Amino acid sequence: MSSTNKLSPKIKLPAAGGRIEEFRLSEPRHFPRKAAGAFNRVAYSAAHVVADPLAAVDPSSGCAIDWDATIAYRRELWNLGLGVAEAMDTAQRGMGLDWPTSLELIRRSIDASRDTKGAFLASGAGTDHLAADAAKSVDDVIRAYEEQVAAIEALGGRIILMASRALARVAKSPDDYHKVYDRILGQVKEPVIIHWLGEMFDPALAGYWGHADHYKAMDVALEVIGRNAAKVDGVKVSLLDKDKEIAMRRRLPREVKMYTGDDFNYAELIEGDAEGYSDALLGIFDAIAPAASAALSALAKNDRATFHEILAPTVPLSRHIFGAPTRYYKTGVVCMSWLNGHQDHFVMVGGQQSARSILHLAELFRLADGAGLLRDPELACARMKQLLALHGVS
C-alpha cells in the first residue's frame, strides 16, 4: 500500500449481522470535468432534482425544489458531454414530483440549455396530472398526453413520451395502445423518444402494450414504431434484460435508435455487436457521470479496452442502486450526489431519502469507492459519518 493510501480516510460501516467494520477509502479516479470531444453514441443522463430542505412543505403531499442546485447539476452533465433527460422517473416523476413542478423544471432546464454551448435535452411528457383512477377511457388518456406535449412544445422542448399508468389501467387490448400512440405521434412537431418503462420500475405499468409477456408486448410496440417511424427518434427500453433489448434493437426501423435503459448491462449494450449498438438514456449516468463521459470519450476513439476498464467497476454499483425494489433507485442516485458535494443535504422530494436501509447505503459507499467515484474522499467520509450517526452508528 502506498503512503498516499495509508493517509486516506477511514470509516466504520455497518455490515450484515449487525457487525461494524472498518473501511479505508481508496484514491479516487481523476476523471476530466469536461468532455474531451464528441461521442459516437448519443448519451442522455436522466437527472435527479435537488429538494429544498427548508421549505414549509409537507413531503407527503407537496414538493419544493432547490432550483439553483438542480440546474447547476444539469450544467455539470452538459459540460461532461451528456444530454439531460428531463423530468423523468429519475427526477421522481410519479413519486413526489408533480406535473406543475415538472413543467417549471422543464422550462428552467430549456432556458439553461440555451446558455450552455452544446447542451441538449429532451423532456418527459406523460399523463401523470390525470389520476389513474380518474381516467375512464383512452380518450381521457389522449387528452392528458396532448396537454403535456403541447405545454412542453410551447417552451421549445423536445418530447420523451413516457409510459402512462392511466393507459395501463384503462386499456382493454393492444388496439387501445395503437389508438393512443398513433394519435399523439401524429401530432408532435419533432420526432420523440418513446419510453417503455417496465413493471420492475413501476408496478402500475405491468402489462404495458396490452401483454404481460414482454416479447408479445414488444410486437405491439414495434408495430406502433414502424407505422410512425418518421415521428420516432428512438425508443428507450427499461426492462433490465439485455436479451430483450437486443432482440428489439435488431427489429427497429433503421432510422430509429435504441436507447438503452438497462442499468444492469449498459456497458456491453452501448459497445454493441456486429449487428448494432444501443445509444443511452440512463438513470445511472446521473450517479456515474464523470466515468460515463470518460468511457464514452474512449469509445469514440475506438479504445474499447479503456471504455470497459472505466465502466466495469461502475456496474456492480449500478446493480446495487437499482436492486429490488427498483423504483427506489432514486435514493441511491441522490445519495451519490450528496456524497460528492453536488448538494448540501440528503433530503429528497417525498421524503424518499428513507426508502433505502443504512446497510444498502453503506454498501453503496463501498462500491462507489471501488469505482473511484467518490471524488473527495474526505468530504464523502465526513458526510457518510453524519448519515451513520443518525442511524446510531458512531
Per-residue pLDDT tens digits for 175-212: 999 999 999 999 999 999 999 999 999 999 999 999 99
Domain containing 180 equals: 3-390
Q: Is the pLDDT of residue 2 over 70?
A: no
Query: Which tens digits make up the pLDDT trace of 284-335?
Result: 999 999 999 999 999 999 999 999 999 999 999 999 999 999 999 999 999 9
Residue 284 is part of a domain; what is its CATH number? Answer: 3.20.20.70
- Helix boundaries (H) for the chain: 3-6, 67-79, 99-114, 138-154, 165-170, 174-185, 214-227, 242-249, 266-271, 284-287, 289-300, 304-311, 314-321, 329-339, 358-370, 377-390
Q: Which of the 8 DSSP states describes residue 262?
A: -
Mean pLDDT of the 108-137 span: 94
Identify the H or E element spanning 281.
strand 279-282
Joined grid coordinates for residue 68 = 439553483
d(CA 23, CA 140): 54
User: How many other CB atoms are there within 10 angstroms of residue 175's CB atom?
Assistant: 12
For residue 159, the 8-state DSSP code is E
Total domains present in the chain: 1
Strand, helix or coil for residue 246: helix
